[in-house]
Structure formats: structure tokens, C-alpha cells
Structure 1
Amino acid sequence: MALTVAARPQVTKISLVQALEDSDAFTAIAGATPGETVAVIEYLLALLYASDHIPRTDSEWREWVLRGESLAPAAAWLRNDAHERWNLFDPVHPLGQNIALAPFMTEHGVGPAQIVIEQAGDYNQFFDHRHLHHAHPMPADIAFRALLTQMSYGLGGNAKVGKDWLGPLLFPQSVARLGGRVRVLALGRTLGETLRLNLAPGTRRPNDGLNYSWTGGRSRRSFEGRKVTRLPDGPADAHSYLCRSMLLHPTRMSDGSLGVDRVLMGSGEVLPDLPGEFCQDAVMVKRGSKGKDNWVQLRPSADRAMWREAHALYATVAERTKDKDLYNRLALLPGTRVQLWAVGLIARKSTPVAWVADEFPYVPGQEMEFREVSEGGSAICEYVARALWKAADTARVIVYPNPKPSDIKQQTERFNGAADMWAGAGDHFHVLLDAVAEGLEPAEALVGFAAEIAALARTSLNNRLDSLSSHGPGLQARLQAQDRLRGSLTGSRAPHFLQEAARVPR
């Protein structure tokens, strides 16, 4: 199965064996989407765990990272593994699939686009007017990577299968392991370094191994009766967990290579709430519920860009409340800069909306500095957003002196530059983090950031006020709104760094 990787200075396709054997010759996995990239890295990690080529302790893990331990032993294990296990179209044990769906393929198989999360959605017609049933062949390597992405990020909802095929529980699909949360990976300079950074040390457990297919090996769930969950036997099992029952039908492409022309997909294995050992990267956030504060894993949001949650990530990095996790191990590499890559899938129920991904620098030993600037930067932006709303409301009162109550919100939004400010603040926030990573003092960095956000706020407000007339109520609304914003940004209630920024000559 081919993977797409970035190799200086080009992008090329390689096999799983090559990805492990020459991992430090490649800079990164080049997936079609962030989710596909994560899913392939997850699978490579599963191979390392299954081959038992992993560090045993945190100190050994540190040595692996610092000296660049070769991953070739895992490649050798994979090369010598039984070849029939790696056949995507094996008639008995197809890789990563459930052969029990075979009797239904001829009559019910649909086009392979169904397995591509971004295309199938809720099974409606696609944006390019292809229907789900159109059997446009898909190259086998693309289908394999789509299969991995479904196993990692598949959404809940009802499958396009018969309720009487294997049992009624084949129909309702559960959210896959990463489908409801933000996954954080530590990125290194090469693919090999990325894999080493994200390996959790330990000793291979007797029953832990790769999930080659639905049949053979582990005893899988039944689709009759009640829903049954299964705790993974170990990290190899967890990283290759079969969260979907899928089957791919082979065909010959126009160039003679193997492809897929029809697929079936239903419910797969169901995970329970996973303990911390299987969520080494989890970012925990406090969410209120019925008067209580609950700690839950960070989820992607359609309303908040990923960088706006950076303070939660850096709080997790700084506090390191778990005994052993990704962030505790990264702390063993003082002075070594890595990028923390956060990826999530935003969905509206069972319909995907967008992939979100962002990178955040981290230098072990500077945990508190990153936490200070991320929290301070977020607080500045939140305050400025409220100030822009107040300025907009000031303009609204003058322009619309006798509004209907139902129109007030829309009228205020006409002059509210908060959305424009948020859209532009992300770039400044990343410059802020990079400056701290390079050694700039947090206080100095935050003053500079506050000045940039204040300037952005003034521009955002002025752009919203441009439609007003230059005389009469329009001019009055413009001047009072600008004065309201100026007072908010420089007044005694403004965050300290905004007040400091106002005192610096520009």
C-alpha cells in the first residue's frame, strides 16, 4: 500500500516498508487532508508497536529521540510478515476489512466515494454532481488511506446497509476513536523523528497486535443483541482499531493497476471510554454542566479557530497532571523545539463540515512562558472583541434610534468588527508564540501583540463604519463609536498589556 510522503525536495509515493526503513529520509507524510495524514501516522505507530520495536522506558525513549534510533527493525518485521495478511483483496482475510459483507456486495455495493469522509457526508449527492452509486474506480492506495481515515475519524449516524444482513447493530455507526476530539501530534524534522516522538514506551503485551482484518485473531463483536464495547489489548490494537466494518471490491484501472469500484460500510467495533494510556496526547478542558465543572477532552469547534484553544494545550503541557503522557516525555528534551500539531474534524451530527488543523511551537523548559503568552493573548482578544461589540452598539443606537427589538442584534452586527478582528488575529498570535520560542520575554511579546490587536480592532471597526454618511447621524455614530473603542482599549479596565501598548510611541 502506497503512502504519499514529502522528501526533499519533492513529493513521492512509497510503501509502508519504505516509510519505516528510510523514515529519516522523508520530512513528513503528505496526506490529502490533515485527517488522512494523522490516520497514516497512527497506522505506522501501530506497526512499530506490533513489531515490538519500541523503547522500554522514558529514559530509553529520550535516547531514541536524541540519537535518531533507526526504525529499520520494524521494516524488517513487516517485510517478513505473512504476505497474505497484507492483501487488501484477500478472499478470506482482506486487510482492515470485514469479509462477512461479501454476500451483499453484488446487489448493494455502492461507489467508492462512500468511504471518503469529505465526499460522502450524509450520503447526499456530491458537490460535483456525482451520485453515491456511481462506480468511479478509485486507485487501491487511495482507497487504503481512505479506509484508515474512516477507522480513525468516522462519524456517527446510520450506515447504508441492510438491518437484516448481519444483525440490526450493523446499521448504527459509532464515532471512531478520534472522531470526537482534537488529536495532538509532536512533529519532528523528519518522519522518523515524528514517529519516535509520539511512541509511548513500554513492553509488548501478550495479546496486543495489529488488527489485520475482522476475521482471524481477536473475537469481534456481534451485530445481534446489545452493543458491546471492547477495551484495546494494547497500543498496537488501539492504533489499528477496526471502528468500521468495511469491504472493498477490486477492479482493474485503465492503466492495469488494481483499484476499487464498489464498497460497503457499516458499524464496526465500539470503544469504551479509554483510559489515559490510550489518550497520551489528550488536551483536557473545563466545561460547565448543570452547575458542575467537568473535565473533557478538547473538541474541534466550528465557532472557534484552533489557535483560540492554544491556552488549553499549553496549560496541559505546563501542568502535566498525568504520570506518563506525551507532554511528560517531551519535557525530557530541554531546549529541543518541536511543533505540536492539533487536528480535528468539525461535523454537524453525521455530516462533516471541515478539517481544522494548526501548529504550535513548544520548547521543553519554557512551559510557563508559553502558557503565559497563550492565556494573555487569548484574554486580550476576548476583551477587544467585547470592546468592538460595545462600539458597534454605540453606533447602532444613533443610526437606528427606534428599532424593533427583533432587529437590534442584526443592526448591531452591521457595525461589529469582532469577526474581522478574529479572522486577522490568528497570524499575530502565531507570531507571538514564535517570538517566545525564539527567546523573547513574554511581557515584551504581549505588549507587541496587544498593539497589533488594537490596530487590527481600529481597522475592523472603521471598515464596518465606512458605509455611514460623512455628516449628520452617520458622522456622529462614527465618531462616538471610535471614541468608545479608544476608551475601552486604553482605559483602566483594559488588560494590562493593552494599557502598556497604548503608552508605547508608534
Structure 2
Amino acid sequence: MTLDGATAHHSLRALLTDADTLSTIDCATPGETVAVIEYLMAICFASRTCPSSPQEWRTWITEEHPLGHAAEWLADQPDAAWDLFHLEAPLGQNAMLAPYIDENGTGTAQLVIEHAGDYNQHFDHHHLEHGEPLPAAEAFRAMLTQHVYAPYGRARMSGKEIGSTITNLAAGRLTGRIRVVALGRTLGETLRLNLYPPEDHAEPALNTSWTSGAIPRRTFTAKAKPRTPRSSADLHSALGRSVLLRPNRGQDGQVVVDRVLIGAGEVLELDPERHLQDAVLKVMTNGDAKPLWPSPTRALWRDAHALYGAVKNADTGLYARLRDLRYEKKGSGAPYHLWAVGLLANKALPVAWTQGSYPYAPGMARHLHHASFRGSTVAEYVADSLKSAAIVATEIVYPASRAADNAAQLARFDARWEFWPDAAQPFYELLDEVIEGGAEDDDPVSAPLVGYARTLVTSARTHLTHRLDSLPPNNRGHLARARAEQRFEDDMRRAKAPAELRGETAHD
């Protein structure tokens, strides 16, 4: 049984044809949305629907260059090349797994990163052997997400027939780092913002299947040797997993996927300058730099200044092109946003998606960098002061505690964990207010920063009060409350406190 090849074909064509009338694409998760954008970019590159120079890129943005050529290119492609269930070259898949899918395949939870866990353990209450069938379109999007975001680990299949190396899963191209997508007001503008001049004029190579096209594929008889992407189309459509989907008919007669098989895929050798156009490099404690990564303990907005710093300082790539844009204010709000997405994982186990969207207007990079850097600095200082207040209360209430109990006792009075989530919204409002101030204002940052700092202090006081409400109503409890609150207020007035907390202005 096959799926009509025109289904995927026509859906992708419709997205590109209507790109400038669609505000966005709505997928199940942030990672899936990024994966679809990556695939649309690959099609644009394969059809040569991309600017040839930074100057032409600016023209594409300002004149809203249509993407219809990519849709026309798709219309000229054979339907068989876009058939999700083609027997010899299924779209995005490895047909060489066909002899093993009935015996080694699992339920559809295996395909969905959020459900599959580490490919061996069920996760999110979905069991790999009893996953519900997936509609073909959902399975296609989940497969694209696997190709770019799948974590490393061990495949849940036997490698004795096809080779043991197929069970060794390498991390996907975007795993372990933050992917930044420049968002416009429409899907078309988003694609134009993220397309870039190809490195050369070699024949674009789109990965439609493991068993088709001119790109030589790895085998599974030896350890994979990383290959350098041949083109931008190749890069953005790389097959990071060997996937095979088994079709069936659903209860209403629609085509669904009922079994999947996943093994090792391609391993790419990436050059940061050529292949990581959106990467924001962050210097680690040892002096090395690596792309900004998702953290389970540090919210993305606390590093928003790194994104604006990249726009302010970059010589090449996405951020340099964004800095060179010109913008005439046509309405309220920012014309663009920098959308940062990452997959949090505990080793091989995916945990959650993390994301943040930060407003950007051309000419405002310096102001936004200053606001976001100072905003993060203020928030971290207030949070540290909450911890200091909690330590004061803990030492009074538990004067003779054991070292093993210290962490739990401190947590009783530590208001940071309520403070941090509440600090995010004022931070976003700060950035919006700076944008509204406009580039024509010599200083659109200082006044909003002071107001932001005042909001954070008020929030911190409230959370500290709630934490201290658990103190006993006796002399020791009253003393602990008074000294903890006094410690916090003293910290807000110290000379080393950020200037904004004292109602002053801090400059770059």
C-alpha cells in the first residue's frame, strides 16, 4: 500500500504558495515547528529560491520577494519522490530497514521525541509497543523532528542482520544547542529572513530518501565517518536518523502509520562559520566557546543579551544581515523576533522543550543588548539577595543543624524558585518598551530599566514574605523574619547593587 505521493507534495507547495498570507505554522511542539521551517528552507535552496548576496537578501526582505518559484519547482518534481510510503525510496526514510520492521518495529511512540524517551524506555505514559497509530501528516512532521533534534543513545532494534553500528545513535544536528530563527510577521517573511546566500553555485542536493539522489550514504558495517554537507539544501534536509514508517488504514479509511523502526543516521561534519549561521557562541569557564545551549536551571531569557550582542557585533552570518536592515516604523510592536528553541535532555533522555521569543527592530541592537544585559544582571542580583535572606532565616531557625539537612532547610525559606518564573514577563515587557521608545530616542532604555527593577523588587518582597510565613509565631520566628527581611532591604541599598535598584542609570 502506498500513500498518494501528491499529498506531501501539494501540502508543501501550498505552504510556499501561501507563505505571505500565513502568519505562522502551528505544530505540536517548538522543535517540530523548527524542523518544518528547516525543511521548507531546504526546498527553497534546492529550487534556488534564495538570495545570491547580502545586498540581494536585503532587497528580498524590503520588497517581500515571493517564494512562488519554490512552489513551481515542487510542482515539476515527480510525485514518487515525495511519496511517504514509496517501496524503494520513501520520503525522508531508509527503505533498507524494510525486512526488519515487522519483527523489530515498535508502536508510533517511538517516532515522537517527547514520547519515546531514550528509545528504550517509555516516557510520558506512552508505551513503545502500544502507541496509537499516527496520521500520515503527523508522522511526517515527527520524522523531520527526529532528523534534526534526536538525542544520542541506543536504538531499540537488533543490529545483527544489518550491522551493529545501526544501533549507535548520534545526536542530531540541532541537539545540544539553541537554534535561533528570525521570525517575521508572516511565514514568507520568516523564510526570507533565514534564507541566506549559498556558498557556491554547485548543484543543490536535497535529501528526499536514503536510497535516492547523488549523495553517498554511510553503511552500517563500520563506524560512521562524518561527511561535510554538499549544499545548503543538503544541510537543512540531512537525514539524522534511519527511519522507516509502516502504513496502514485507520478506522475511517485514512492512511496512518502503525509501526516505526529507527536506527542510526547520517553524521555531519559542520563548520561553525559555514553551517551554523544562527549559532550564538558563549564563552565557557575554560575559555572555549560553544553555541548557546539549553539549560535546565537557567531560563533562556537570562541569556537574551547574547542574541542581541551577536546582532551588534557579528561580522557575517544571520546577525550581521539583520543589523544591516533598515526599518521604517509602520505600526506598533517589533517587526521581527529572535525565536530561540532548544531541547533539554538528561543525557540520552529528552526532558522538555525550552524556548523564548525576543523582539528586534533594525537600529535597536545596541539598546536591546544594554536593556537585556542589565535586566538579567538586576534579576540575578535580586535572586541572590533572596538566597542571602533565606540563609539568615535558616541560621536563626536551625542554629545546630546537620550539614546533610542544610539544603532542605534552606529551601524552606528560599523564594528564588517562585521569583524566577515571575521575573520573565517583566523582562519581556522591558524589551517591548525599549522597542516602543524607538531608535530615534538617545536613551530609550534607562527609564524602562528603573521601572523594571522596581517591579522585580516588589515581586521579590512578596515571595519572600510568603516563604517566611512558615516561621513559627514565637520569638525565634519573629527574629528570623525581621533579620531576613532587613538583609534583603540592605542588599537593595548596597553600593554594589545594580544602579537601577537604587533608581539610578547604568550605561554601557
State the TM bucket, normalised to the shorter chain: over 0.9
1:447 maps onto 2:461 in alignment:
no
1:139 maps onto 2:124 in alignment:
no
| Preserved contact between residue 166 and residue 220 of structure 2 (Cα < 8 Å) | yes
Matched residue of 1:23: which SS? coil
After superposition, the C-alpha distances for 1:211-263 in whole angstroms (9 at most, x for unaligned) are 01011221101111232111101110000000100111111112222111111
| Preserved contact between residue 155 and residue 176 of structure 1 (Cα < 8 Å) | yes
Range that drifts further, 147-156 or 216-225: 216-225
1:481 maps onto 2:484 in alignment:
yes
Give the aligned partner of residue 10 of structure 1: none
Give the aligned partner of residue 429 of structure 1: 427
Superposition deviation, residue 501 in structure 1: 6.5
Runs of 5+ unmatched residues, structure 1: 3-12
* Separation (CA, whole Å) in 2 of partners of 1:339 and 1:56: 24
* Pair 136,416 (structure 1): closer, same or farther in 2 beyond 3 Å: closer
Give the aligned partner of residue 92 of structure 1: 88
| Preserved contact between residue 52 and residue 204 of structure 1 (Cα < 8 Å) | no
* Separation (CA, whole Å) in 2 of partners of 1:370 and 1:46: 31
Give the aligned partner of residue 104 of structure 1: 100
* Separation (CA, whole Å) in 1 of partners of 2:199 and 2:127: 48
Give the aligned partner of residue 173 of structure 2: 177
Give the aligned partner of residue 223 of structure 1: 220
TM-score, structure 1 as length reference: 0.93
Superposition deviation, residue 417 in structure 1: 1.1
| Preserved contact between residue 202 and residue 231 of structure 2 (Cα < 8 Å) | no
After superposition, the C-alpha distances for 1:162-207 in whole angstroms (9 at most, x for unaligned) are 1223212101100101111100011111110110111012366324
Give the aligned partner of residue 83 of structure 1: 79
| Preserved contact between residue 244 and residue 267 of structure 1 (Cα < 8 Å) | yes
The runs of at least 4 aligned residues of structure 1 exceeding 6 Å deviation read none
* Separation (CA, whole Å) in 2 of partners of 1:275 and 1:474: 56
Superposition deviation, residue 406 in structure 1: 2.0
* Separation (CA, whole Å) in 2 of partners of 1:492 and 1:203: 52
1:113 maps onto 2:109 in alignment:
yes
* Pair 57,121 (structure 1): closer, same or farther in 2 beyond 3 Å: same
Give the aligned partner of residue 245 of structure 1: 242
Question: Number of residues paired by the alignment?
Answer: 486
Give the aligned partner of residue 309 of structure 1: 303
Superposition deviation, residue 120 in structure 1: 0.7
Alignment equivalent of 1:298, drawn from 292, 296, 299? 292
Give the aligned partner of residue 497 of structure 1: 500
AA at the equivalent of 1:53: T
| Preserved contact between residue 115 and residue 122 of structure 2 (Cα < 8 Å) | no
| Preserved contact between residue 136 and residue 257 of structure 2 (Cα < 8 Å) | yes
Give the aligned partner of residue 266 of structure 1: 263
| Preserved contact between residue 450 and residue 501 of structure 1 (Cα < 8 Å) | no
Superposition deviation, residue 453 in structure 1: 1.0
AA at the equivalent of 1:460: H
AA at the equivalent of 2:430: L
1:124 maps onto 2:121 in alignment:
yes
Alignment equivalent of 1:281, drawn from 278, 282, 285? 278
Range that drifts further, 397-406 or 63-72: 397-406
Give the aligned partner of residue 9 of structure 1: none
| Preserved contact between residue 394 and residue 409 of structure 2 (Cα < 8 Å) | yes
Give the aligned partner of residue 15 of structure 1: 11
Superposition deviation, residue 133 in structure 1: 1.5
Alignment equivalent of 2:365, drawn from 340, 364, 367? 367
* Separation (CA, whole Å) in 2 of partners of 1:360 and 1:269: 33
Range that drifts further, 338-347 or 202-211: 202-211
Compute the RMSD of aligned alpha carbons.
Answer: 1.8
Runs of 5+ unmatched residues, structure 2: 329-334, 439-443
